Structure 1
Amino acid sequence: MSRSEQELFSTAAITSFKLNGQFLAIAEELARPAGITAAWWQVLGAVLHEPLPVAGIARAMGITRQSVQRIADLLVEKGLAEYRPNPAHRRAKLVAITEAGHDAVRRIDPQHTKMAARLTAELGRERMAEIADALTTLSAALDAIE
């Protein structure tokens, strides 16, 4: 029995909603021992390699600019991030991770590594790579049609 385009779309969406909840629950569990939340980890992760403006973080993470601004302000207040001047835009400061922020993310790494290994063991490395590629392709396709 062939499923309609609408059924396929609905299945993908509902499964993505469930996955989002599952990943957020895992992220909260992983982040808690480091003294941060999943949302804080998400924003720190976005600026791990380079400072970005709040709007850039929001685009990369698929969340609202206002949510990122609130979290960035908290991270700065806690000393896990800092605001820096943005040479490309006078008013939109860059969010940069501090050494304390790097330390928090590093504290997550051992459990993050274990969870990744458990999931990869469950699915197999090749299947895990296929799934990651398919999710990336799905996200890009949604970006393309928006």
Structure 2
Amino acid sequence: MSDAQARLSAMALSSFALNGQFLKIAEQLAAPAGLTATRWQVLGAVLNEPLTQAEIARRMGITRQSVRRTASQLVDDGLLRMAENPSHRKAKLLQPTTQGLAAIEQISPQHAAFAKVLEGRLGKSHMAEISDTLAELQSVLDELS
């Protein structure tokens, strides 16, 4: 195995482990608001702008079927609403409701506290560097795939 292959394998294995850790942390942070990590992920995707289910799936790297199922549950629970999409008649836009925004707001204090603890361990500049490096890796992988 070449050095490049070994580094790629190490990055992939670390990413898989990190994904599991982030999901576990997200479950703990979202639980007091009555959400799961998946429901928080889909709801959080539309906080800044309305998106279609396909757009959420692409941005989050999850399947459309998973987004469709989760979004449907969130709509049924009154946390998301579907709006007309001027760009596409069939693909509705998802937007948070007042209740959905309240659920996200309920998560915010624990989320902020955990972020502060993590920043304390890593340091502000190193945490920013890690975030930038992960964003760069994601961008390069998007270009290559």
1:1-80 equivalences in 2 (<5 Å) = 4-80=3-79
1:81-96 equivalences in 2 (<5 Å) = 81-96=80-95
2: distance between equivalents of 1:42 and 1:86? 21
1: distance between equivalents of 2:49 and 2:126? 31
State the partner residue of 2:100: 101
2: distance between equivalents of 1:136 and 1:52? 21
Deviation at 1:49, TM superposition (A): 1.3
Q: List structure 1 segments (4+ residues) > 3 angstroms apart after TM superposition.
A: none
Counterpart residue identity of residue 115, structure 2: A
Q: Share of identical aligned residues, percent?
A: 53
Give CA deviations for 1:87-143 in whole Å, capped at 9, x if unaligned: 100000111110000000000000000000000000000100010000000111100
1: distance between equivalents of 2:136 and 2:48? 23
1: distance between equivalents of 2:96 and 2:14? 33
SS at match of 2:81: strand
Corresponding pairs, count = 144
Counterpart residue identity of residue 129, structure 1: A
Segments of structure 1 that go 5 or more residues without pairing to the other structure are: none
1: distance between equivalents of 2:4 and 2:19? 22
2: distance between equivalents of 1:52 and 1:126? 32
SS at match of 1:114: helix
Q: What's the Cα RMSD here?
A: 0.7
Segments of structure 2 that go 5 or more residues without pairing to the other structure are: none
So what's the TM-score if we normalise by structure 1? Answer: 0.97
Give CA deviations for 1:62-98 in whole Å, capped at 9, x if unaligned: 1011110000000000000011111100000111110
